[in-house]
């Protein structure tokens, strides 16, 4: 089975490529080739037991996308996106990548199906940002997506489109509305949720961090490890069990910022926690305050998605998986300007 | 205030133009010009107290759309669509008109706003087909749109897009999810719901009609008169009362086919009812059986949308408004081929 990762150069894409290289298979089916695609050639994971191609191109370039999803493609992880704050800052860019890009993936799958291939499984990363409702209440499995940000709107539109394409047999989608993923390595990015990782990662690097929301602010969270488990489970799932509803709210974790800082203190001591200082940011708060902090996980659990591990385990996983590499990257970086 | 009707040549567009010509105003604000736009030049209503332009063009032709929505446009009725069975038969055509067309309307509004104009009110006709759930249950005002047909998917995507565009100030949308409108004049069209009007209209013309679904099949209905009332109310509504949720389920009427045939018998006698013969059609049933037959009207009523009049009044309105014209059109037609 050939596998494509669109957005293969991003945080989740690189983790996923490494995981596939380690596992060699998805749901018991061997991976025979891995095609990594991004705007720049993605890094190739070490010691993969199958050939790996690193391709650079634009999702909206049909020839480039066809190269990234060649004949024989069985699973496509469509992770390519413009993140929340960037899509809010630039409406056209968000529409282009988040909506038109998804439509391009549909078109490519349809072209493969037209040649007699089975509809490829498309695992699409949607987001908690496709909901509103904020801090109150628990979103049911069939909760309405009424997003209060352009990124969430574009993700919800992509889900509708991929659901229809699945019904029509152009592809076979599973749309995972990922919680906020923490702890992200690297530097802060333009996701409005970037602070969620920063307030844990930066203190673990002995660096200060700022908190743009109050400590009692609650979030719906998952770890990179669990996100990988979910992506792979979604890739192998029998989609007949989903019926018309291709959207899944995987079983994340509700935690307040104070819970996260408490876990930081237990893992790294009070000095680490003391590195986080409040710095209210109304622009960030305006986006993230609409995101729900709790979902009913029953459907996802019944579909076999693994529940989220607790906060301290998430922090220890970051220390084990990413801290040294993050520290090395920072050391190699030139100091940030300004 | 200048007004545009996109899809001005269709059934609802022509009724709306005639109503505007009669009223001369929307919500007390005089109409100063009316721009009718469709693939072919729409008919111009009689005796309008303002200039009326009939324009032909493609929604996706920016120059044509700019002519149909000139500077000074205050209200746009966006009724242009590929109907349900046609969008199911031709995915690309449905996407082009129903999604890309709506995006073109957004782009044009945004261009007007960029010149300093107020965001135009866009009244978008969405549909009961954007929901699933079928015969069971009552859809709440914030019910989830999980459509089981491409037309409904494209309408739901259009709603998301116009909602986001409203939040961003590119336009000011109200999305009306119209029930099945009956009694439609003219001939059957490619809407899967075409039979709903046919089983009343054809017998009133002394013609036979076929019923593709069982008599106990229930539908969510409205009359053309009430649809006009709702479109005009939506055009004048204070959108602040809608909050983030620009979608409205107007207060239609739940009726079984047997209720409709009973009303037909009361209005036109048993011979009329006897002209309707069962002819089960699985393709039509597959589409319409997913559409909900009942909605909670409380929010729409609180927003000032008028409740639907009863079935017999709908039939009598068709006889008063449209029967003679429909009969004359049929008489002028050549006999259908085949």
Tell me the domains of chain A and their CATH numbers: 2-178+222-248 (3.40.50.720), 194-220+252-294+309-330 (3.90.25.10)
pLDDT > 90? residue A118: yes
Q: Do A168 and B91 touch (CB under 8 A)?
A: yes
**Res. B312: pLDDT tops 80:** yes
Query: Which candidate from A144, A148, A160 shows the least CB-CB separation from B157?
Result: A160
Residue A159's CB is within 10 A of a number of other CB atoms, namely 27
DSSP class of B39: S
Listed by number, the residues of chain A in 80-139 with a beta carbon closer than 8 Å to a beta carbon of chain B are: 91, 132
- The pLDDT of A68-79, averaged and rounded, is 98
In the predicted model, is pLDDT for residue A132 greater than 70?
yes
Catalytic pick among A11, A131, A151, A195: A151
The mean pLDDT of B192-198, rounded to a whole number, is 91
Confidence of residue A35 (pLDDT cuts 50, 70, 90): very high
Residue of chain B whose alpha carbon sits nearest to that of A245: B146
- Cβ-Cβ contacts under 8 Å, A145 against chain B: 144, 160
Q: Where are the beta strands (DSSP E) in A172-287?
A: 172-178, 180-181, 209-211, 218-222, 247-248, 253-256, 276-278
Contact A153 B164 (CB under 8 A): yes
Kindly report, residue by residue over A196-210, the tens digit of the pLDDT.
999 999 999 999 999
Q: Of all helices (H) and strands (E), which one includes residue A305?
A: none
Whole-number Å distance between alpha carbons of A313 and B139: 42
Categorize the per-residue pLDDT at A247 as very low, low, confident or very high, splitting at 50, 70 and 90.
very high
- For residue B324, name the pLDDT band (cuts at 50, 70, 90): very high
Q: Is B146 on the interface with A (CB under 8 A)?
A: yes
ipTM above 0.85, yes or no: yes
When pLDDT is averaged across residues B314-320 and rounded to a whole number, the result is 95
B325 CB-contact burial (10 Å; exposed 0-12 / middle 13-18 / buried 19+): exposed
Per-residue pLDDT reduced to its tens digit, A41-58: 999 999 999 999 999 999
pLDDT band at B334 (very low <50, low <70, confident <90, very high): low
Of residues B171 and A83, more confidence is placed in: B171
> For chain B, first and last CA: distance in Å?
48
Q: Phi and psi of A280, rounded to 5°?
A: -50, 135
Q: Which residue has the higher pLDDT, B122 or B338?
A: B122
Kindly state whether A168 is in contact with chain B, defined as any CB-CB distance less than 8 angstroms: yes
Residue A337's pLDDT is: 44
Q: At which residue do the structure tokens 């539908």 appear?
A: B219
Catalytic residue among B131, B151, B195, B318: B151
The secondary structure of residue B128, as a DSSP letter, is G
Higher model confidence: residue A31 or residue B84? A31
A244 touches chain B (CB under 8 A): yes
Q: Provide mean pLDDT across the span B219-245.
A: 97
> Does A144 contact chain B (CB < 8 Å)?
yes
Whether the per-residue pLDDT at B211 is higher than 60: the answer is yes
Residue A66: name the closest of A103, A95, A93, A104 by CA.
Answer: A104
Alpha carbons B245 and A290: distance in angstroms, whole number: 14
* Residue B135 backbone phi and psi in degrees, to 5: -75, -15
pLDDT score recorded for residue B6: 98
Query: What's the pLDDT at A334?
Result: 57
Give the pLDDT of residue A288: 85
**Catalytic residue list contains B88:** no
Q: Do the chains contact at B161 and A157, CB–CB below 8 Å?
A: yes
pLDDT at B220: 96
Coil, helix or strand for A271? helix
**B147 in contact with A at a CB cutoff of 8 Å?**
yes
Which B positions 221-240 lie with beta carbon below 8 A of chain A? none
Instruction: Look at residue A335 in the predicted model and tell me its pLDDT.
Output: 57
């Amino acid at each position: 089975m050939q596998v494509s990762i669109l957005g293969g150069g991003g945080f989740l894409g690189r983790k996923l490529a490494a995981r596939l290289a380690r596992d060699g298979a998805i749901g018991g089916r061997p991976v025979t080739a891995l095609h990594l695609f991004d705007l720049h050639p993605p890094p190739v994971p070490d010691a993969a037991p199958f050939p790996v191609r690193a391709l650079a191109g634009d999702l909206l370039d049909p020839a480039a996308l066809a190269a990234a999803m060649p004949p024989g493609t069985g699973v496509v992880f469509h992770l390519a996106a413009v993140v929340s704050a960037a899509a809010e800052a630039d409406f056209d860019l968000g529409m282009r990548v988040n909506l038109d890009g998804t439509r391009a993936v549909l078109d490519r799958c349809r072209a493969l199906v037209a040649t007699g291939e089975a509809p490829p499984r498309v695992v699409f990363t949607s987001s908690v940002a496709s909901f509103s409702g904020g801090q109150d209440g628990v979103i049911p499995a069939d909760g309405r997506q009424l997003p209060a940000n352009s990124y969430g709107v574009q993700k919800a539109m992509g889900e509708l489109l991929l659901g229809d394409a699945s019904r029509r047999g152009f592809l076979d989608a599973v749309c995972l509305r990922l919680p906020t993923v923490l702890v992200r390595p690297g530097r802060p990015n333009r996701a409005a949720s970037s602070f969620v990782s920063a307030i844990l990662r930066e203190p673990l690097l002995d660096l200060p961090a700022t908190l743009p929301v109050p400590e009692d602010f609650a979030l719906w969270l998952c770890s990179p490890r669990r996100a990988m488990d979910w992506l792979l489970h979604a890739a192998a799932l029998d989609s007949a069990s989903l019926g018309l509803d291709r959207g899944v709210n995987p079983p994340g974790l509700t935690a307040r910022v104070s819970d996260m800082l408490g876990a930081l203190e237990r893992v790294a001591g009070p000095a680490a926690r003391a590195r986080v200082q409040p710095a209210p940011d109304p622009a960030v708060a305006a986006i993230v305050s609409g995101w729900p902090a709790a979902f009913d996980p029953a459907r996802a659990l019944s579909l076999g998605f693994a529940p989220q591990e607790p906060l301290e385990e998430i922090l220890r996983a970051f220390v084990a998986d990413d801290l040294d590499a993050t520290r090395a990257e920072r050391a190699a970086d030139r100091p940030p300007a300004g």
